[in-house]
Amino acid sequence: MPVVRVEGVHKRFGAVEVLKGIDLTVEGGQVIAIIGRSGSGKSTLLRCINGLEQIQAGRIEVAGHGLDASAKGLRDLRKDVGIVFQSYNLFPHLKVGENIMLAPRVVLGVGKAEARRRAEAALAEVGLAERFEAWPDNLSGGQQQRVAIARSLAMQPKVMLFDEVTSALDPELTGEVLQTMERLALHGMTMLLVTHEMAFARRVATTTVFMHQGRIWEQGPSERIFSAPETPELRQFLGGGLK
């Protein structure tokens, strides 16, 4: 059974139709990169998958939860979907460890010891085991982003969404975040990432999806997408993007 199933999804912001009928299936363990120009709808698609944006038509199903209008259904779905944002969005009033333990404690109701164990494991996974007691403001952007990844991991999601997570980082810091993501992929995490890092998408993603004007324009195995793009739009996009 696929982890994520998106069927005929339409999304409008006012009069502007951003998603014009999206169908996408993500199997367990798959890493899917979504590429495309700004405004092609790729971030919106990601945000629809965990209900941060409401869709007007179609169906989204994640790990057996259908996305419906009720708040309860939405929260159940979000327990299984982690998302990492471009701007990290750590909670500045909590230390790193507390940032990670908060949701497992209050949302999933796990005990303090278990939450701590999960947080330590998640921090180790992103290579920041020793920063448990640090304040977010005292970390570099790359480290904050890795803590944000750990915060999502501690919920033990079935799929992780990454929304241009390196776009706000220097090239140097981008590397450490990408390495962290690559390690997650190796450990079998199902991942859906919107990215401008073409080399990373080509190397790590099993499938790459090219979005154009609110539609999935072309998709396929990453190697094929990058080496032999079929549509002129993708060829043009890659030609400009790879320089």
Dihedral of the alpha carbons of 148, 38, 226, 164, in degrees to the nearest 10? 0
Judged by beta carbon, residue 155 or residue 193, the one nearer other proteins is 155
Candidate list 34, 44, 85, 189; residue touching other proteins; CB under 8 A: 85
Q: Which residues contact 79 (CB under 8 A, 6 or more apart)?
A: 107, 108, 155, 157
Contact 19, 11 (CB under 8 A): yes
Q: Indicate the SS3 state at residue 189.
A: coil
Q: Does residue 116 bind other proteins (CB under 8 A)?
A: no
Q: For residue 104, what are its two tokens? A: 């497992």
| Residues that contact other proteins, how many (by CB under 8 A) | 29
Q: Indicate the SS3 state at residue 200.
A: helix
Q: Does residue 212 bind other proteins (CB under 8 A)?
A: no
Smallest distance, other proteins to C-beta of residue 152, A: 8
Q: Does residue 103 bind other proteins (CB under 8 A)?
A: yes
Greatest distance between any 2 Cα atoms in the chain: 55
Judged by beta carbon, residue 78 or residue 212, the one nearer other proteins is 78
Q: Among 151, 198, 150, 207, which Cα is nearest to 174's?
A: 198
Dihedral of the alpha carbons of 126, 41, 48, 5, in degrees to the nearest 10? -90
Q: Which of residues 15-74 bind other proteins (CB under 8 A)?
A: 50, 52, 71
Q: Which stretch binds other proteins (CB under 8 A): 15-23, 35-43, 61-69, 135-143?
A: 135-143
Judged by beta carbon, residue 36 or residue 136, the one nearer other proteins is 136
Candidate list 22, 83, 159, 181; residue touching other proteins; CB under 8 A: 83
Query: What residues line the site for other proteins (CB under 8 A)?
Result: 50, 52, 71, 75-76, 78-79, 81-83, 85, 87, 89-93, 95, 102-103, 106-107, 135-138, 151-152, 155
